[in-house]
Amino acid sequence: MNWIKDLLWGDGIAHSLLILSIVIAVGIQLGKIKIFGISLGITLVLFMGILLGHFGFHINHEILHFFKEFGLILFVFSVGMQVGPGFFSSFKKGGLTLNMLACGIVFLGVATTIIIHYLTGVPIPTMVGIMSGAITNTSGLGAAQQAYNDIFGTTDNTIALGYAVAYPLGVVGIILSMLFVRYIFRIDFNKENKQIQEEESKETDGASPISLIVKNPAVFNKTIADISQLLEHRRFVISRIWNFETQKIEIATADSVLHENDKIFVITTDYDAETVKALIGLEIQMDRKQWIPTDSQLISRQIVVTKPELNGKRLGDLQLRRLHGVNITRLNRSGVDLVASSRLNLQLGDKLTVVGSEVAVHKVADLLGNSLKRLNEPNLITLFIGIALGVFLGSIPFMIPGIPQPIKLGLAGGPLIVAILISRFGYHYKLITYTTLSANLMLREIGIALFLACVGLSAGEGFVDTILHKGGLSWIGYGFIITIIPLLIIGFIARKFFKLNYFTVMGLIAGSTTDPPALAYSNATAGNDAPAVGYATVYPLTMFLRVLSAQLIILFFLRLNINYLFL
């Protein structure tokens, strides 16, 4: 029976894998349990690790360290790949206001953490752990632990302990802050829903179809190419023409000529629609089915770009209209319809709406790939190139004025930044960045589960002692203060001065704390997708700042303390 003893209490690979598997499996299952409609999710893996660590289950230090760091890299890289495409676009239009408010929440949280440190004397590493738990941000926990390890070559378990004790009340505090804002401003849900509907009706992005009749003499006998030059800076595609003389519908080509009383089917944006109408003529009401009569050979299909060699190519370079006689009217990317401008760069996974004869559409489908099976194949080259570049970037020392010692982005910051850049610009360098949502979620969940299990096992031995004898109960209070104060201040500012819709404020609060349970609560309360939109708008920048701020606090304060000791 020695083998059972070695398996449960030994120091080998089999023992390590068994303990990690038990911690992760049981923790995830427990995380599905809801209390008052709220579940802690995968965070229960951390508490399960703490529990087993408390009862003496340990893993070899080197093995534990490897799994923890590798899990962290997988997690932050997957997060970066997920948020990267929307990271830069999130600063446009109203997103700039939301992101600035989210930055305010992050900075106020950091300021509150530092103030509590000076008032109470709780060490900075512990306070950063409490801060990460208070805003339920696991990436910040990983960044702080990695930064501490870079300086001292060892871990500080109080970082994980602070996170663990502050997390549960952090989830509650985030939702309470939403309720406080609702109570203070006496929110009427009917009015908020009406405002959302009015804003959506004014939406100017995306692709919209309109039918026009040619009435402007300035475009009589002009070709589509001529029209495109006149409207060079507008986004539109003339898809089909109803010829007044022949009474027939035909595919619009660059050489197609417009005559008086011809009718055209145009795909454009709401913003550009008025300009197109002003140049060509009057809008008429025609059902889209009327543009494909029963005796016509025209068909309309969605074709998916799946050939790797097309990744990054401009749509206009394929010359599909000239070579195959088809029109590309819309491009759907990540659920958003875009006008199929010739200047658009294609990415794997794009869905093109193609109109033409059945033979021509089949040829275009072969040219673009249209193989969903190919999309399901994992693109591991991009993954590991990105991880390698991220590790390299994270290892470069940077000098910052005021900090005597160089700092590093580490294994959390480096892969995160590289993933954001690759997911946004990788197609320029022929890197296939498309990943199915399920594949990305799988990598992310495996990474965070490994990381939390390892953190819990290493911190478990002193958890109970910390709660009972080392101020752990007061840490819970500090965490609640860090949670509630920034959210109430920015929530008040967002509603009072920026007049933001309450449902958007809920998404802002949930996104600035990167808290899925709060988002789930917001969606259920609102009954619309406004909280999800607000969450998605601020999440990329907030996640980046949470990781960076946790590292910088550790590096700045501990570096100064180290240098002070040597002076």
Cβ proximity of 508 and 98 under 8 Å: yes
Cα distances (Å, whole numbers) of residue 329 to 112, 235, 237, 320: 52, 11, 6, 12
Cα four-point dihedral sign 119, 124, 130, 136: positive
Cβ proximity of 68 and 479 under 8 Å: no
What is the pTM assigned to this prediction? 0.64
The 10 Å CB-count burial string (b at 16+, else e) for 126-151 is bbbbbbbbbbbbbbbbbbbbbbbbbb
User: Could you give the CA distance from residue 224 to residue 207 in angstroms, rounded to a whole number?
Assistant: 19
304-306-310-311 Cα dihedral, nearest 10 degrees: 100
Closest by CA position to 481, among listed 161, 6, 94, 115: 115
Across the 567 residues of the chain, what is the mean pLDDT of every consecutive 10-residue run? 70 85 90 68 80 84 86 82 66 77 95 95 92 84 81 81 81 86 90 78 64 90 86 82 86 85 87 86 82 66 82 81 79 71 78 84 86 72 89 80 62 79 77 73 85 81 71 87 96 93 91 75 73 74 84 77 45
What pLDDT sits at residue 404? 52
What pLDDT sits at residue 128? 94
User: Could you give the CA distance from residue 436 to residue 348 in angstroms, rounded to a whole number?
Assistant: 11
What pLDDT sits at residue 28? 86
What pLDDT sits at residue 22? 92
CB atoms within 10 A of CB 408: 19
Cα four-point dihedral sign 520, 523, 529, 533: negative
User: Could you give the CA distance from residue 385 to residue 367 in angstroms, rounded to a whole number?
Assistant: 28
Region of 186 on the Ramachandran plot (φ > 0 left; ψ -120 to 50 alpha; else beta): left
Amino acid residing at 188: D
Cβ proximity of 425 and 341 under 8 Å: no
User: Could you give the CA distance from residue 510 to residue 73 in angstroms, rounded to a whole number?
Assistant: 24
Question: Residue 468: which H helix or E strand, with range?
Answer: helix 463-469
User: Could you give the CA distance from residue 146 to residue 149 in angstroms, rounded to a whole number?
Assistant: 5
What are the backbone angles phi and psi of residue 284, rounded to the nearest 5°?
Answer: -125, 160
List, in sequence order, every residue forming a beta bridge with 330; answer none if it has no partner. 339, 353
Sequential DSSP letters for 478-497: HHHHHHHHHHHHHHHHHHHT
What pLDDT sits at residue 492? 96
User: Could you give the CA distance from residue 515 to residue 132 in angstroms, rounded to a whole number?
Assistant: 11
What pLDDT sits at residue 555? 78
